[in-house]
Structure 1
Amino acid sequence: MTDTDTPGTGAENAQEPPSISAFAPDSREGEKTSESWFDRLRHAVGFKPTGSLREEMEEALEGDGAATAFTAEERLMLRNILKLRDVRVDDVMVPRADILALDVDMTLGGVIGAFRESGHSRMPAYRESLDDPVGMVHIKDLMDLITGAAMANGDIDFSKVDLSLKLADTEIIRSVLFVPPSMPAATLLSTMQASHVQMAVVIDEYGGTDGLVSLEDVVEIVFGEIEDEHDEDEAPLITPEADGTFLADARADLEELEAALGMELGLGDGHDDVDTIGGLVFTLLGRIPQAGERIALPDGLAFEILESDQRRVKRLRVSRENAAAA
């Protein structure tokens, strides 16, 4: 990744992304420029044209010839590229509840601690609440500020660094993009490349902060999870217990829960937009439950809330009522 973002001092310097209409995800221009490349691909898999270029490629990747022309990883990436235009920003964003951010009233000492705890190289900054984002801070700029102050007289003396200085009084806050949740991820990728800004705050229809997206989040749509030497292996979101129950992080996908249980939840109509266990609990109750509450599902499952706060469910236990009765 490049770090060529332009430093700013607040929201007034944040760069607004180009109009969505300026980027046409359904344009055929990209297909025209890649036609000769696709002809070679089509020839390699022995596929004869029958429909649109996109349909031809999708069918070619499912054909027997694709297995010999491409590795499994290459086929997966090509499929992901074809799906990219259907992915929206809200499909890949970090939800508001999981955003780790910096208050502009934090001291430099506090900012250093926040970066150490988060493990991120970039963090968004806000004034008073997440609904007033003013930009983002890159750890490289923070280190440059600290070492610059320590070497003011030539020698390195970190005692000269004023760690009580507030973030708002520095000039290390860079611009971010502000985008709607409905923006196509491909549009955001193009905007980030053009603006050299690698972080976007997702703003909902009421002007509040809905989520956060980095360039890495978008790139991972095609290449899968990208980890560096500082990324730690995450614990599984759903773990089986000896008594037959499951401990689950509320962020776990419903598909992951179904795989663990070996059954479909059979939620019926009205739950098509629910993706996570926490989202399902909120949809069923219409509110955030407190720790200790128990929710019974029609198919014999029960959710016991183990941890929650005012904004979301965090952890819960999943059990089969019929198994417990047996």
Structure 2
Amino acid sequence: MDGDSIRLLIGIILTVAAVLWITVTEKLLKNGWSSKSEQEEKKAQKKLFEKPEDRLASLSFIKMLMLIVLGSLQTIFLERFAEGFLLWFYLVICAMVYWLTAEGLLKMVATTNYNKWFSRSRWLVNLLVMICKPINRLKEKSLQIMNLSSSDIDQDNEILSLLDSIRVESDLSDQEYQLIQSAIHFKDLEANDILTPRVDVIAAELQADHDEIEDLFYEHGYSRILIYDDTIDHVVGVLHQKDFIQFMKKAYLYNKNISLTSILKPTVVAPPNMKIAVLLKMLQEKKTHMAVITDEYGITSGIVTLEDIVEELVGEIWDEHDEIEEEMIALDNQTYRVLAHANIDKVLRLFDIEDEFTSNTVSGFVIEAMGKMPAEGDSFFYHQLKITVLKLGFHRIHEVLIECTEEEQEDDLLIDDFVRSFEIEANEKEILF
């Protein structure tokens, strides 16, 4: 090798070392942010974790520059000394060495030399923050113009990534893992995501016979039901079972003609797009357990109960009177029977499908995908899934069958979407002309 080649190789080694140092420091800083901040051995180390966003952003920016430099140096090196099989051999070896070195350094530092690593690296991290300060400020200004916050963009992903690493390295149980995941996603959920739809709401008319109301309580086992005047779009209050029992006793024993409205509790009304975290606080302030969800036209969309909100954190809550109903039953390793009111995101996530939909339920997804109200036996393919409608009733889908095929099928939905969009475009042109 000549002098230029040696300098080139030294440059590659130094750049790799810099990338390794940034990778390990960045990873430990994230972990330290969540679990190491309790260490009080050194005030300077604690100060390092007071505002980790700037440090992480600076490290990420420098790492990106180093990777660009590394890629350029490697390209020059490969053009001079490697070709054909040697090229691929060199790339594989470099990748393995980098990965093994980074993992080895991370485990070694994390277990034995954590404090020493940061005591020696602190000044360099602070120097990088000072150098990258103008760039970080420019990024913040750009995000403010777009009404975004840098602390919110990747924060959930970083927490979930950290959670995955903790789960691997510790004895975190599946239940604890699911609880933390639910808490992270909790703030993004809206009332429309968890409501009981209008058609499933148990309610009674204000002028209904008292025996009918009593039958509703005993038949469905609820402690509270809605009372409406004329239509369910005009809810006048919430009736508690214990208040109704006292009401019936007084009417029977003392032959008093008491109005049902006197024992009704006021309702909490909320829009479908209200965050359930905000709705939870509202229910707590109003000291009530149920909210009526109405759209912009005053039409009742459904209800959300305190139990519905809590279940989003801890999972389904069953009492001794509930009839346990499995939303998804495995018939075999590849076939599942799914209730139509099951959450479509949760169902497809089991098949590693992360697509987003406007519908919340399996029923809504099927109707949205097929562009019509299907008949029993209708089916379509979506990715590697064959979805068949099993049961219908009163213009509603009750059950579907999901079969997981080995290979991804030609997506009928894409064809249907194209045809529907073509028809809509043609109709618009007819209207215009």
How does the TM-score come out when normalised to structure 1?
Answer: 0.65
Q: 1:215 to 1:265 in 2, by over 3 A?
A: closer
> Which of 192, 199, 224 matches 2:290?
199
Corresponding residue for 1:122? Answer: 224
Higher helix fraction: Structure 1 or Structure 2? Answer: 2
The DSSP-based 3-state class of the residue aligned with 1:307 is strand
Taking structure 1 as reference, are residues 142 and 297 closer, same or farther at Cα in structure 2, changes over 3 Å only? same
Moved more, 216-225 or 192-201: 216-225
Deviations 1:35-77 (A, max 9, x none): xxx9888539x99733369778666644549976976545544
CA contact (8 A) 1:302 1:321 kept: no
Q: Which moved more, 1:292-301 or 1:48-57?
A: 48-57
Pick aligned residue for 2:210 from 108, 127, 131: 108
Question: Which has the higher mean CA deviation after the structures are superposed, 51-60 or 116-125?
Answer: 51-60
- Residues 67-86 of structure 1: pairs in structure 2 closer than 5 A: 73-74=175-176, 76-86=178-188
Q: 1:172 aligns with which of 252, 263, 268?
A: 263
Contact 1:295/1:302 (8 A) holds in 2:
yes
User: How far apart in 2 are the matches of 1:125 and 1:313?
Assistant: 27
Going from structure 1 to structure 2, the CA distance change for 1:42 and 1:119 (only over 3 Å counts) comes to farther
Query: Is the Cα contact below 8 Å between 2:388 and 2:400 reproduced in 1?
Result: yes
Q: What amino acid is aligned across from residue 279 of structure 1 in structure 2? A: G
CA RMSD of aligned residues (A): 4.2
Q: 1:97 to 1:64 in 2, by over 3 A?
A: same
What is the letter of the counterpart of residue 98 of structure 1?
D
Amino acid of the structure 2 residue aligned with 1:294: D
How many Å separate the matches in 2 of 1:146 and 1:174?
17
Q: Is 1:132 matched up with 2:240? A: no
Match of 1:24 in 2: none
Cα deviation, 1:70-111, whole Å, max 9, x if unaligned, reads: 765455444433433212111221122321222222211000
Tell me which residue corresponds to 2:339: 249
- What is the identity, as a one-letter code, of the residue corresponding to 1:315? E
Counterpart AA for 1:313 = I
Secondary structure class of the residue paired with 1:188: helix
SS of residue paired to 1:124 = strand
Shift of 1:319: 6.1
Secondary structure class of the residue paired with 2:38: helix
Residue 215 (structure 1) aligns with:
306
- The 2-side partners of 1:226 and 1:73 are apart by 14
Separation (CA, whole Å) in 2 of partners of 1:194 and 1:315:
39
* Conserved 8 A contact 1:202-1:210: yes
Question: 1:188 corresponds to which residue?
Answer: 279
Distance 1:65 1:114, change over 3 A: closer
1:194 deviates by 1.0
How many correspondences in the alignment? 266
- Structure having the larger proportion of residues in strand: 1
Rounded to whole Å, the distance in 2 between the matches of 1:57 and 1:221 is 19
Please tell me the residue identity of whatever aligns with 2:208.
M
Q: Which runs of 5+ in 2 are unaligned?
A: 1-32, 40-44, 54-150, 407-433
What is the SS of the residue equivalent to 1:202?
A: strand
- How many angstroms apart in 2 are the aligned matches of 1:277 and 1:76? 22
Q: Which of the residues 375, 379, 391 maps onto 1:306? A: 391
2:399 corresponds, among 300, 308, 315, to: 315
- The CA deviation at 1:301 is 2.6
- Distance in 2 separating the partners of 1:298 and 1:83: 26
Q: Residue 287 of structure 1: CA displacement?
A: 3.6
- The 8 Å contact of residues 196 and 304 in structure 2, kept in 1 or not, is answered as yes
Report which stretch shifted further, 64-73 or 226-235: 64-73
| Residue 380 of structure 2, aligned match among 275, 291, 296 | 296
Matched with 1:226 is 317
- Give 1:43's aligned residue: 38
Any idea what SS the aligned residue of 1:174 has?
Answer: coil
Counterparts of 1:316 and 1:57, CA distance in 2: 35
Match for residue 96 of structure 1 among 198, 217, 220: 198
Does the 8 Å contact 1:176/1:199 carry over to 2? yes
Matched, 1:286 2:281: no
Percent identity between matched residues is: 25
The alpha carbon displacement at 1:190 in A equals 1.0
Q: Distance in 2 between matches of 1:142 and 1:320?
A: 50
Under a length normalisation based on structure 2, what TM-score does the superposition of the two structures give? 0.51
Superposed displacement of residue 226, structure 1: 2.2
Paired with 2:173 and 2:402, the residues of 1 have a C-alpha distance of 39
Greater radius of gyration (CA): 2
1:321–1:59 CA distance, 2 compared to 1 (3 A): closer
| Residue type of the alignment partner of 1:251 | H
| Aligned-partner Cα distance in 1 for 2:173–2:347 | 30
CA apart distance, 1:274: 3.2
SS of the residue 1:281 aligns to:
helix
Amino acid across the alignment from 2:307: E
Q: Is the 8 A contact 1:135 1:173 kept in 2?
A: yes
